Amino acid sequence: MQDRPRSVSFKNGVIDLAGHLRVPEGNGESRNYAAIVLATPGSSVKEQAGANYARRLTEKGFVTLTFDPSYQGQSGGEPRDLEIPSVRSEDIRCAVDFLATQPCVDDGRIGLLGICAGGGYAVNAALTEYRIKALGTVVPVNIGRARRSAGPGAIRKMLEEVGQQRSEEARGGPQRREPWIPDTLEIAQAAGITDPDVLDAVEFYRTPRGFHENSTNRLDFTSFAPMLGFDAFHLVDELLIQPLQVIVGGRKGVTHSFEDGEELFAKAINPHGFHVVEGAGHYDMYDKSPFIDEAVGKLDEFFVQYLR
């Protein structure tokens, strides 16, 4: 099956979001399909990890929608490269709005899949978006927890610097943008970085393996404040009513997606499952076979069961 996504756009307020809509071949667009919104990792654009899952899920018979977050990729919004959790969650709700207007979609059968930080954003959105009927996560990361792991002293210093930067920009100063990860493997090695997860991230995002020109690998510095104040799993035990499938890689690492997945699973009170892809690291789950194939097989079973 050839991958032929259709470029689409939809709104989050005044911001135009750029998306890729994939529809199963063979039955035209008049059939009412179950559909899945995909929430991508932090720094990622729709052509990267999300596309790898969307393509496979469309082959399984689902309409899929990947999109660039507000302020990133081909989507609009200024300043560029902002990462604001509340906006990321609203992007997801707006993606559901868009799918509800499509003649090929049964709006009573819409699911959501979040990958890495997108997994945390997906959980947060699903808490108050009950048009989402089933929620899947792959290597989910609570990005607020990840940022707060620096410790109280570092957090205080960061928030003070963010305040200073906002004042500078209010006075007309330039935007400050930081790399999410080292720009090349050579830079990482020169900095003495040896952690396998960090090097895997650089290999995926900054080499031909997963590189895409629309992914800048830059983060607006002021984004650290809303990320530090965010807890993706807050109120899961009260508001998350949808069936939940958590998928993690069996090789633990510095992303702590295994531990975040365990926390999410433990908090969930709805029908839920926890699946470990043995031998896989966090970034192996973005594109490597047989790991991604195992994950998609489990997701297919899950979404067929709850979106049928």
Q: With contact defined as beta carbons under 8 Å apart, do 240 and 125 qualify?
A: no
Question: Residue 292 corresponds to which tokens in the numbers above?
Answer: 């991604």
Judged by average pLDDT, the poorest of 85-89, 133-137, 266-270, 282-286 is: 266-270
Helix axes 85-100, 117-126, angle to 10 degrees: 70
Looking at the predicted structure, is the pLDDT value of residue 232 above 70? yes
Read off the pTM: 0.96
Give the DSSP per-residue string, 229-288. Answer: T--TTTTHHHH--S-EEEEEESS--TT-HHHHHHHHHHH--SSEEEEEETT--TTHHHH-
Compute the residue count for the chain. Answer: 308
Model pLDDT, residue 127:
98
Nearest to 164 by CA among 225, 100, 89: 225
Looking at the predicted structure, is the pLDDT value of residue 30 above 90? no
151: Cβ contacts below 8 Å, ≥ 6 apart: none
Rg (CA), the chain: 19
Whole-number Å distance between alpha carbons of 204 and 184: 10
Q: Is the peptide bond before 271 cis (omega within 30 degrees of 0)?
A: no
Whole-number Å distance between alpha carbons of 140 and 236: 14
Q: With contact defined as beta carbons under 8 Å apart, do 110 and 36 qualify?
A: yes
Please write the tens of the pLDDT for every residue from 62-112.
Answer: 999 999 999 999 999 999 999 999 999 999 999 999 999 999 999 999 999
Model pLDDT, residue 238:
97
Give the DSSP per-residue string, 73-92. Answer: TTS--SSTT---HHHHHHHH
- Let me know if domain 6-148+219-307 sits in CATH 3.40.640.10: no
Looking at the predicted structure, is the pLDDT value of residue 27 above 80? no
What 8-state DSSP symbol labels residue 26? T
Residue type present at position 190:
A
164: Cβ contacts below 8 Å, ≥ 6 apart: none
